[in-house]
Structure formats: structure tokens, C-alpha cells
Amino acid sequence: MRGTGFQSIVVLTGAGISAESGVPTFRGPDGLWEGHRIEDVATPQAFHRDPALVQAFYDARRAALARVEPNAAHRALAWLDAEWPGDLLIVTQNVDDLHERAGAARMVHMHGELKRAFCLACGERQAAPDTLSDGPACARCGAHGRLRPDIVWFGEMPYHMDRIEAALAACDLFVSIGTSGAVYPAAGFVQGARHYGAHTLEINLEPSEGTHVFHEARHGRAGDLVPLWVGALLEG
Ligand code: APR
């Protein structure tokens, strides 16, 4: 397609694409995530042990979305979505809403969304109210205090895996942006796409844990590199 020869693209994004918007990444130099160990806030066991802590943590992150905006990398992917005539699937591990606020539509949230909740009483997925700490009622069954963040925690099954695996098998270009390659299954997508014959490109601030698996790697800020990559692809 166009001068590039590619038809079908899968883009995987991680916390690094939102870093320049002011959303903290997970694996900072201190190993903490906004002052918490990941195991204390992002596992079903943590929620069982201390639901108030976990709800307060996600309530704060949901509230913080109002103070951040999409950056040039999100906008470039939305531009790609609008202009690319072939197949495209943007798979984000991020639970923020910056891709969709930039205008991307052909995308899935494999680790859930801060702005969604689900009811532990009836299973209904729904828009999250601003805070879950105060035990709001489920929009479907009316139970109070049973909504949890619709976030995929460690030990839980990521969403949309059938669709993602089909897209990986069919794509001829796989691009990973702003992810450390530390968390599976997302960290294994590059091997899957390569296995099926795709060209693979990493765009990250620094070499990821799986950088050697990619055909090509570009290291620097997503806000600089993603618009350049998208521009070249659309003009190629
Ligand atoms: N541009 C590009 N890459 C960046 C930038 C930037 N401006 N800033 C940071 N990065 C890179 C970092 O170098 C790091 O390799 O983004 C990566 C972010 O890695 P993580 O913090 O580990 O985030 P991610 O890979 O998305 O984590 C995966 O782990 O905690 C779970 O479920 C959570 O979805 C998350 C998953």
C-alpha cells in the first residue's frame, strides 16, 4: 500500500506514550508507582485485602485524567487512523483515555479503562462515576459498594485477546511504542507478529527488554518519533 508496501498495521502502546502528557509510567527508577508497589494496588489480592486503598488509588488516577491532554504521539496515531486506507488496530495497555481523546477509533484497551467500572454483584460493565470509594450504586442491579475499577490486574485475563491475536497474525507491520516489554502477553506480541511475517519496529525512550527481537528500533521521545514515523508512512 502506498510506497511502503504495508497493508495491515498493529500498533501496541504503553505508558511511555502518555509520559509526555504527564501520566506517570509504571517502572520508574524507584520501582514504585506513584508511591505504591504495583502488587499493593494492582492485583485482585490487593483489592480483597484493602479495597479502600485500591479504590482511592484508582479514584485519584481517574481524577488526574482531567488534568492531562493528548500529546503529539497520540495525535499522530489518530491521524494514522484517519488516513490509513488499510487495516489498523491500535492496542493500548494504557487505562487513560488519551488515544480516544486525540480521535483514534480503531483501538482497544487490553488492560481496561479508568473511566469504566464493573459490578461484582451482577457483572455489568458500565461508565464509572467520578469516585468508587464512596460505594455508588450499580447502574443495572442497584447494589451499593460493589463496583470495582474495570482494570485488568496482574493475574487477570487481558481483554480483546481474540481480536488482537487475529490482527497480529494478519498484520505486515507491527510497531511497539512506549512500553518496557516487561508484562505479558503484550510483551510477546512482537514474537507473534514476527512469526507470521510482519516487519517489527520499536519506538521507545530506551531499549526495551525485548528490543533485540525487533527488526528495527528507534530510541527517543514518542512525541518526537511517532509523528515522524506516521508522516513517513502516510507520505511513503
Ligand atoms: N517516549 C517514549 N518512551 C518513553 C517515554 C517517552 N516520552 N517515557 C518513558 N518511555 C518508556 C520507558 O523507557 C519504558 O520503557 O516507556 C516505557 C514504559 O514502561 P512501563 O512503565 O513498564 O509501562 P508499560 O510497558 O506500559 O507497562 C505495561 O504493566 O503495570 C502494568 O498493566 C500495567 O499496562 C501496564 C503494563
Check residue 31 and give its pLDDT. Answer: 60
Whether residue 2 has pLDDT greater than 70: no
Coil/strand/helix, residue 62: helix
Check residue 5 and give its pLDDT. Answer: 87
Distance (Å) from CA 123 to ligand 1 centroid? 30
If you average pLDDT over every residue of the chain, what do you get?
95
Question: Residues 33-53: what's their mean pLDDT?
Answer: 90
Whether residue 3 has pLDDT greater than 60: no
The dihedral through the CA atoms of 66, 129, 136, 117 has a sign that is negative
- Give the residue, out of 40, 177, 205, with the most ligand 1 atoms within 8 A of its beta carbon, to mutate for a pocket test: 205
Q: Which residue, by CA, sits nearest to atom 19 of ligand 1?
A: 180
Question: Residues 93-104: what's their mean pLDDT?
Answer: 98
Coil/strand/helix, residue 203: strand
Distance (Å) from CA 24 to ligand 1 centroid? 9
The DSSP bridge partners found for residue 177 are 13, 203
Cα 221–197–188 angle (5° rounding)? 55
Distance (Å) from CA 91 to ligand 1 centroid? 14
Question: Residues 61-66: what's their mean pLDDT?
Answer: 96
Tell me which of 24-28, 171-175, 217-221 is least confident. Answer: 24-28
Q: What percent of the chain has pLDDT over 90?
A: 90
Q: Which residue, by CA, sits nearest to atom 26 of ligand 1?
A: 14
Give the atom of ligand 1 at the shortest distance from the alpha carbon of 38.
30
CA 205 to chain centre: 17
Is residue 36 part of the annotated active site? The answer reads no
Distance (Å) from CA 92 to ligand 1 centroid? 11
Active-site entry in 111, 160, 195, 212: 111
C-alpha cell at position 13: 502502546
Whether residue 52 has pLDDT greater than 60: yes
CA distance 102 to 40: 31
pLDDT in tens, 133-157: 999 999 999 999 999 999 999 999 9
Give the atom of ligand 1 at the shortest distance from the alpha carbon of 26.
21
Q: Which residue, by CA, sits nearest to atom 4 of ligand 1?
A: 16
Identity of residue 198: A
C-alpha cell at position 104: 483514534
Q: Which residues approach ligand 1 with their CB closer than 6 A?
A: 14-16, 19-20, 25-27, 38, 93, 111, 178-180, 182-183, 204-206, 208, 221-222
Check residue 33 and give its pLDDT. Answer: 72
Whether residue 108 has pLDDT greater than 80: yes
Structure-model confidence comparison of residues 28 and 159, the more confident one: 159
pTM: predicted TM-score of the whole model, two decimal places: 0.96
Tell me if 220 sits within 8 A of 205, measured CB to CB: yes
Distance (Å) from CA 179 to ligand 1 centroid? 4
Q: What percent of the chain has pLDDT over 70?
A: 97
Q: Which residue, by CA, sits nearest to atom 10 of ligand 1?
A: 16
The DSSP bridge partners found for residue 66 are none
C-alpha cell at position 88: 489498523
Q: Which residue, by CA, sits nearest to atom 34 of ligand 1?
A: 93
pLDDT in tens, 162-200: 999 999 999 999 999 999 999 999 999 999 999 999 999
